[in-house]
Amino acid sequence: MSLTESELLTLRDAPEGDLLRVALPLLRGRVGLVSSFGAESAVLLAFAADIDPDLPVLFLETRKHFPETLAYRDRLVAHLGLRDVRNITPDDRELQARDPQGQLWAFDTDACCALRKVEPLERVTPDFDAWITGRKRSQALTRQGMRAVEAQPDGRVKLNPLAGWTPREIDAEMTRRDLPRHPLTTAGFLSIGCAPCTRPVGAGEDARAGRWAGQEKTECGIHQPA
């Protein structure tokens, strides 16, 4: 499945600030939002809930998350009134065959992300023509060239409505809306993924420096660098 030229043009013509308002009615039933329920996820989820609380929200439940993230997911979903949050889990047989001890992350993070994130998301990809993500250019050097509307080689589209937002703007919007905050942010976690692969960041580091720290890896495979 893919978008028509006309749909793609409509999305590309939309100002970044209006992208969600244009995309959600245009692609209703064909678009999903992928959320990590991390430190900056609440703003995008709040915008989406304002427009369509029935929008499918996909959470990659890798079974390696911090318990705080799972509790935060449940709290935020209730707070925003989101009605279609789907936990996308790895296949049990594949887990047993390829990571029986749950330690694959320790020696092959790419293989672990493939098993716990990329392949589970691929299983549900046929249900959607477009994905909404919360990625921002300000998050890392590898994201500085990212566009708000990214056509994919398979004809699908990734939409990044917050591409131009800065951490300060996100923080201000969270305060303005009185949104719940991820409990680990107060401990210096500015970008929060799976527990074994996330550490707090220090002063002067970019927000994603705590993800797969010490490795070349910067993305899990579902969002390749722009």
* Site residues (CB under 6 A) for ligand SF4, limited to 164-203: 193-194, 196-197
- Annotate each residue in 116-135 with x if it binds ligand SF4 (CB under 6 A) or - if it does not, as one string: xx------------------
| Of 7, 61, 9, the residue nearest 34 (C-alpha) | 61
Contact indicator for 118, 220 with CB cutoff of 8 Å? yes
Which residue from 88, 112, 162, 201 is in contact with ligand SF4, where contact means CB under 6 A? Answer: 112
* Site residues (CB under 6 A) for ligand SF4, limited to 23-62: 62
| Of 94, 86, 139, 134, the residue nearest 112 (C-alpha) | 94
Contact indicator for 52, 160 with CB cutoff of 8 Å? no
CB of 190 to ligand SF4, least distance (A): 16
H/E run at residue 78: helix 67-80
Please pick, among 112, 194, 197, 220, the residue that the annotation labels catalytic. 220
Q: 220 an active-site residue?
A: yes
Which residue from 23, 33, 113, 121 is in contact with ligand SF4, where contact means CB under 6 A? Answer: 113
- Annotate each residue in 60-99 with x if it binds ligand SF4 (CB under 6 A) or - if it does not, as one string: --x-x-----------------------------------
Query: Tokens at residue 149, please?
Result: 């509307």
Residue 136: other Cβ atoms inside 10 A: 23
Q: What are phi and psi of 198, to 5 degrees?
A: -130, 135
Active-site residues, by number, are: 220
Q: Which residues bind ligand SF4 (CB under 6 A)?
A: 62, 64, 105, 109, 112-113, 116-117, 193-194, 196-197, 220
